[in-house]
């Protein structure tokens, strides 16, 4: 599980010399919320269209943003049995994702971990994808595009179709 944190340690753009118990600054919370909302928007648009690889990209982008905060705080990634849900009705997924994104506005690492686990669960069990590989592909895209946001790079998002099991 903590291999995820090792992956994130390769990023230098936001690494600070901070203690794990320090609180996130207001601007860090606002920045992460902005990224989470972009990824959420991408995910919801993909759900509307029904494009599985783009839904996967949105879920991985959400998980990656949450993971970035968890790495910043050096929080261990632990599997959460509560993240699993068999409620795969689209409106229920949208509501749950929306709530989990909103919960992250608290700045509490536990909320980011909950969002990460839920996105991982959806990618694996709902989309039927190789989440770990998708996260690595997304990570390499982010490293190659350090100033990329989901808004200004929609046409060149990483293609995660190979991560779908089908």
Rounded Cα–Cα distance for residues 166 and 64 (Å): 23
Beta bridge partners of 164: 129
Residue 12, pLDDT score: 44
Rounded Cα–Cα distance for residues 148 and 156 (Å): 10
Task: Give the pLDDT confidence of 71-114 residue by residue, as tens digits.
Answer: 888 787 777 766 666 778 889 999 999 999 999 999 999 999 99
Lookup: tokens for 114: 């909950």
Lookup: tokens for 159: 């293609």
Task: Give the pLDDT confidence of 125-134 residue by residue, as tens digits.
Answer: 999 999 999 9
Lookup: tokens for 150: 């989901």
Task: Give the pLDDT confidence of 2-60 residue by residue, as tens digits.
Answer: 677 677 766 544 444 454 557 888 999 999 999 999 999 989 998 999 999 999 999 99
**Secondary structure letter of residue 25 according to DSSP:** P
pTM of the model: 0.87
Task: Give the pLDDT confidence of 48-65 residue by residue, as tens digits.
Answer: 999 999 999 999 999 999
Beta bridge partners of 129: 164
The residue ranges of every structural domain in the chain are 25-163
């Amino acid at each position: 599980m903590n291999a995820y944190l090792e992956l994130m340690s390769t990023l230098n753009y936001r690494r600070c010399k901070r203690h794990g118990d320090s609180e996130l600054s207001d601007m860090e919370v606002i920045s992460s919320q902005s990224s989470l909302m972009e990824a959420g928007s991408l995910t919801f648009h993909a759900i509307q269209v029904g494009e599985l690889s783009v839904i996967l990209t949105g879920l991985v982008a959400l998980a990656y943003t949450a993971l970035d905060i968890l790495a910043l705080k050096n929080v261990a990634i632990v599997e959460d049995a509560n993240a699993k849900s068999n409620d795969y009705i689209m409106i229920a997924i949208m509501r749950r994702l929306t709530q989990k994104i909103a919960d992250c506005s608290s700045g509490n690492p536990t909320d980011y971990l909950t969002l990460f686990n839920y996105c991982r669960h959806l990618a694996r069990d709902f989309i039927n994808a190789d989440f770990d590989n998708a996260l690595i592909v997304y990570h390499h895209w982010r490293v190659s595009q350090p100033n990329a946001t989901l808004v200004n790079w929609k046409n060149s998002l990483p293609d995660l179709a190979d991560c779908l099991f089908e």
